[in-house]
C-alpha cells in the first residue's frame, strides 16, 4: 500500500493518505511528550513497540466484539487503518488510583477502586484537555447520547479484556486512555493502546512499565517499553 501526502503530524504519530479514500497509514514516531507537549524527548524503539502492541491488542479486542480501525500492519512502524473522524473525547478508564485521579482526590497511588471508573477529557490542546462529563459532551455537540453510550460500553469491554490479558503477563492494568472514531455511521476504537496510553505495573514488584517513567524522570524508560513488548510474546 502506497503512502501519499501527509495529512497530519501529531505528538507521537504521523498520518498519511493512501489512494483509497477510506484508508490511511499511521506512522508511529519515537518522539515522546508529556504535560501537553511541555516536556519533550525520545524513547528509542517506542514507535515500533507501540505500533505492534496496538495492532496485537486491537486484533484481540476485535475478537471480543470491539470494532477497531485496524486493517493491516505494513511494517514495524506503519499500519493501514480505516479513515475515521475522531470523536474529540479522551476516554479514560481507571482500576486503581494513580496520576491525576490520585492527586485530585488526595489519595496514594495504587489503591484498588471498588469499581472501575470512566471519565472524559475534551480533546483540545489549547485548553489542556479539560475534564468533562457526558452532559458537557452533549451540550458542546461533541457526541450524541447514542455515541456516548456505545463509547462507555466499549470502554468497559476493553477494560475487562485488557485486565485479563495483562494479568496473564504479570501486569496490573492501573488505568488507560482510549479514543474512538466515527466510521460509516458507526463508532469504532481508534488511536492506540500502548505504554504511552496505559499505566502498567508489574504485579509483584509494582514497578512502573509505562510512560510515567518518562513523565517523572524515573529512568529505564526504553527498558520498560521493551519489557512490556517482551511479555506480549509477539516476536
Ligand atoms: P491521568 O491520571 O494523568 O489523568 O492519566 C490517565 C491515563 O491516561 C494514564 O494511563 C495515562 C493516559 N494519558 C494519555 O494517554 N494521554 C494524556 O495526555 C494523559 C494526560 C494521560
What CATH number did the domain enclosing 29 receive? 3.30.200.20
**Ligand 1 contact via 176 beta carbon (within 6 Å):** yes
pLDDT in single tens digits along all 235 residues of the chain: 899 999 999 999 999 999 999 999 999 999 999 999 999 999 999 999 999 999 999 999 999 999 999 999 999 999 999 999 999 999 999 999 999 999 999 999 999 999 999 999 999 999 999 999 999 999 999 999 999 999 999 999 999 999 999 999 999 999 999 999 999 999 999 999 999 999 999 999 999 999 999 999 999 999 999 999 999 999 7
Angle of the 46-63 helix axis to the 145-167 helix axis, nearest 10: 110
CB 162 within 8 A of CB 174: no
Q: Is 149 inside a domain boundary? A: yes
**What is the atom index within ligand 1 of the atom nearest the CA of 174?**
10
Note whether 41 and 96 are same-domain residues: no
Task: Judge whether 73 and 55 are in contact, CB under 8 Å.
Answer: yes
Residue 185, phi then psi, degrees to nearest 5: 65, 10
Kindly state whether residues 124 and 183 are assigned to the same domain. yes
Alpha carbon distance 188, 129 (integer Å): 21
102 and 171 belong to one structural domain: yes
Q: How far is the CA of 176 from the centre of ligand 1 (A)?
A: 7
Mention every residue, 6+ apart, whose C-beta is less than 8 A from residue 186. Answer: 67
In this structure, is residue 140 part of a structural domain? yes
Write down the pTM of the prediction: 0.98
Q: By alpha-carbon position, which residue is closest to atom 5 of ligand 1?
A: 99
- Give the closest residue to 49 by CA, choosing from 231, 203, 233, 226: 226
Q: Identify the pLDDT of residue 193.
A: 98
How many distinct structural domains can be found in the chain?
2
At 221, list the grid cell.
Answer: 524508560
Residue labelled with grid coordinates 496485537: 56
Amino acid at each position: 500500500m502506497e503512502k501519499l501526502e501527509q495529512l497530519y503530524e501529531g505528538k507521537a504519530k504521523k498520518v498519511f493518505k493512501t489512494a483509497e479514500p477510506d484508508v490511511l497509514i499511521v506512522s508511529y514516531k519515537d518522539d515522546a511528550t508529556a504535560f501537553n507537549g511541555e516536556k519533550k524527548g525520545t524513547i528509542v524503539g517506542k514507535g515500533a513497540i507501540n505500533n505492534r502492541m496496538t495492532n496485537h491488542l486491537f486484533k484481540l479486542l476485535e475478537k471480543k466484539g470491539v470494532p477497531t480501525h485496524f486493517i493491516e500492519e505494513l511494517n514495524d512502524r506503519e499500519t493501514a487503518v480505516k479513515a475515521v473522524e475522531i470523536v474529540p473525547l479522551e476516554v479514560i478508564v481507571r482500576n486503581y488510583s494513580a496520576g491525576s485521579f490520585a492527586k485530585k482526590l488526595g489519595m496514594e497511588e495504587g489503591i484498588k477502586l471498588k469499581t472501575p471508573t470512566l471519565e472524559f477529557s475534551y480533546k483540545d490542546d489549547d485548553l489542556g484537555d479539560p475534564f468533562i462529563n457526558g452532559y458537557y459532551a452533549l451540550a458542546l455537540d461533541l457526541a450524541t447520547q447514542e455515541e456516548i453510550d456505545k463509547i462507555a460500553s466499549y470502554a468497559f469491554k476493553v477494560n475487562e479484556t485488557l485486565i485479563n490479558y495483562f494479568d496473564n503477563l504479570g501486569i496490573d492494568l492501573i488505568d488507560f486512555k482510549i479514543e474512538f472514531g466515527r466510521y460509516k455511521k458507526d463508532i469504532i476504537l481508534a488511536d492506540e493502546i500502548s505504554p504511552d496510553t496505559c499505566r502498567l505495573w508489574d504485579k509483584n514488584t509494582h514497578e512502573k512499565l509505562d510512560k510515567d517513567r518518562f513523565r517523572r524522570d524515573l529512568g529505564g524508560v526504553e527498558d520498560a517499553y521493551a519489557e512490556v513488548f517482551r511479555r506480549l510474546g509477539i516476536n
